[in-house]
């Protein structure tokens, strides 16, 4: 297999000198590779190094063939059109001049009379009906992603880099991305936490603080291998802990043995059974032996401590976050939420929710589904009181907590711990720290300012503040909770939500997530 990209001993540090990537050795060829790792592990940085946006601190990156990048979020500039994403602005301008009879002889020789049709056909494969002249500002984020994929398919480079290509896409958009990659015959490196998409990969590369590891096969095979690695790491940890205990016991035994010998020698000298010159010689020899023994036991303790540290690091990397929650004590007959003939929207003259009635009773788990623009976020605003209905009535019968996509309950200028104490004023500092530690904000990490966190860390902090208090809400409402979480964090949130016994209302396009949290009803706004 030809290798389009080769990374040799690549390292990179942040501007303040903090090492992020160290001695990375990877090869990527004509294959689809999923790039995974916890938030902050360096996935985006690695893509930037490969694309040339960043330069490595050490090592080299060799690229053969044409490479294109699909950004996580397309930044639209004024006047930018669909044709610009296809790299066809100049060619389209010449075509327009030719169609108007204004092209020069030289320009006519370069005219591609079928260019508009080719671009339109490329977009039709992604269910897009727009002309190349359509401004990108008129398209939704999902539509822009589809246009970018269509442009990639049209240009057909040797290898493509995609960062979270399914983020903010509805079910149809996610399917389009999956079908695009399934049909792709070049190389592809895909940063994603979309497990359905990762199931289509040929290999998985994981970034951790220990470096980069490659796993052959798709997401399921990767997870099976990780479970075996975790079991092995746990055995190594048990062995390392026993070695530390044994080394300490050996050191204690040596000290006690020397103490007994010293006492016995002292008694003999005191009785006159041993000449002082002989006693002195034996004492000197004993001290030398004791010194060698002390050095040997100290070395054993150091080696055991190093093995223990390495074993703990492996466990820390492999062991996902776990969350345990108290009961909400929600009765199965309790009417949690009731909407009666509700009509509403942010534009009262053109409501997106019309005459909607539904009820949630007891600890039911409801997924709100529908394509982008169908009113899912509007419905959540009507339920949580952020938007009054134009008609009808919304009744909420229990305490609720709502985490929107921006996690706006958190004050960005405050630390995580200060936010927790603000939202849970009855909690003491020690309990706050213990709760945040369960959500992987240990020690000084709990003192980080929320505004300095990544998107995934902010959501994790929001979940900690909402679910870590002494009294859980009986209704939890989440808007696209997995969009900014890494895969380990998603698994942890799933575990926590499975332990949560209140009512759950979730907007999500992640079908694997919805299945794993036990959704038993779906409200389709399509």
pTM for the full model? 0.68
pLDDT at 331: 94
pLDDT at 492: 75
Question: Sign of torsion, CA 440 442 448 452?
Answer: negative
pLDDT at 367: 95
Q: Are 305 and 481 in contact (CB under 8 A)?
A: no
pLDDT at 366: 96
Q: Which residues pair with 411 in a beta bridge?
A: none
pLDDT at 116: 86
CB-count exposure of residue 437 (10 Å: 0-12, 13-18, 19+): middle
d(CA 414, CA 447): 9
Pairing verdict, β 391-396 and 400-403: unpaired
Question: What is the residue-level pLDDT of the chain in tens, covering all 526 positions?
Answer: 566 899 999 999 988 888 899 999 999 999 999 999 887 789 989 999 999 999 999 999 999 989 988 865 566 677 888 888 888 888 888 788 888 787 777 777 777 788 888 888 888 877 788 888 888 888 877 788 788 888 888 888 899 999 888 877 778 778 888 888 988 889 999 999 899 999 999 999 999 878 899 999 999 998 888 888 777 767 766 776 677 676 677 667 676 666 676 666 666 555 565 565 555 555 555 555 555 555 666 666 666 566 656 655 555 555 556 667 788 899 999 999 999 999 998 887 888 899 999 999 999 999 999 887 788 989 999 999 989 999 999 999 999 999 888 888 999 999 999 999 999 999 999 999 998 988 878 888 899 999 888 766 788 888 889 888 888 899 999 998 887 777 877 887 788 788 889 999 999 988 899 999 999 999 998 7
Q: Are 343 and 390 in contact (CB under 8 A)?
A: yes
pLDDT at 308: 57
Question: Sign of torsion, CA 512 517 522 526?
Answer: negative
d(CA 286, CA 283): 5
pLDDT at 265: 60
């Amino acid at each position: 297999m030809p290798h389009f990209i080769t990374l040799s001993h690549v390292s990179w540090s942040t501007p303040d000198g903090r090492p992020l990537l160290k001695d990375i050795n990877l090869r990527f060829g004509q294959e689809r590779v999923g790039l995974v790792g916890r938030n902050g592990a360096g996935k985006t940085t690695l893509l930037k190094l490969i694309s040339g946006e960043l330069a490595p601190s050490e090592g080299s990156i060799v690229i053969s063939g044409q490479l294109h990048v699909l950004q996580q979020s397309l930044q639209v500039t004024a006047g930018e059109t669909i044709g610009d994403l296809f790299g066809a602005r100049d060619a389209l301008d010449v075509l327009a001049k030719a169609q108007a009879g204004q092209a020069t002889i030289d320009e006519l020789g370069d005219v591609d009379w079928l260019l508009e049709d080719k671009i339109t056909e490329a977009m039709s494969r992604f269910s897009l009906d727009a002309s190349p002249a359509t401004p990108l500002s008129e398209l939704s984020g999902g539509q822009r992603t589809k246009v970018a994929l269509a442009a990639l398919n049209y240009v057909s480079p040797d290898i493509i880099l995609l960062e979270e290509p399914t983020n903010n896409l509805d079910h149809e958009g996610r399917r389009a991305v999956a079908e695009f990659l399934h049909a792709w015959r070049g190389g592809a490196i895909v940063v994603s936490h979309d497990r359905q998409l990762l199931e289509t990969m040929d290999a998985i590369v994981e970034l951790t603080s220990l470096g980069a590891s490659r796993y052959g096969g798709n997401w399921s095979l990767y997870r099976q291998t990780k479970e075996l690695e975790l079991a092995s790491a746990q055995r190594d940890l048990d062995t390392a802990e026993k070695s530390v205990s044994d080394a300490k016991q050996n050191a204690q035994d040596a000290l006690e043995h020397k103490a007994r010998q010293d006492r016995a020698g002292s008694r003999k000298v005191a009785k006159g059974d041993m000449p002082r010159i002989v006693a002195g010689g034996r004492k000197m020899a004993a001290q030398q032996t004791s010194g060698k023994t002390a050095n040997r036991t100290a070395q054993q303790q150091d080696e055991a401590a190093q093995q223990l540290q390495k074993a703990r690091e492996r466990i820390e990397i492999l062991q996902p976050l776990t969350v345990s929650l108290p009961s909400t004590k929600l009765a199965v007959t309790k009417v949690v939420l009731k909407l009666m003939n509700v009509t509403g929207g942010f534009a009262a003259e053109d409501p997106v929710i019309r005459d909607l009635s539904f009820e949630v009773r007891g600890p039911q788990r409801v997924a709100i589904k529908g394509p982008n623009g169908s009113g899912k976020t509007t419905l959540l605003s009507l339920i949580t009181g952020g938007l009054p209905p134009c008609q009808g009535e919304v009744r909420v019968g229990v305490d609720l907590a709502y985490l929107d996509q921006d996690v706006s309950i958190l004050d960005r200028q405050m630390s995580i711990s200060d936010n927790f104490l603000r939202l849970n004023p009855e909690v003491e500092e020690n309990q706050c720290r213990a709760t945040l530690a369960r959500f992987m904000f240990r020690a000084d990490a709990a003192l980080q300012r929320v505004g300095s966190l990544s998107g995934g860390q902010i959501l994790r902090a929001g979940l900690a503040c909402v679910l870590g208090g002494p009294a859980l809400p009986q209704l939890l409402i989440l808007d696209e909770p997995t969009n900014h979480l890494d895969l380990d964090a998603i698994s942890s949130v799933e575990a926590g939500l499975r332990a949560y016994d209140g009512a759950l209302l979730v907007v999500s396009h992640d079908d694997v997530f919805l299945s794993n949290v036990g959704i038993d009803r779906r409200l389709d706004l399509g």
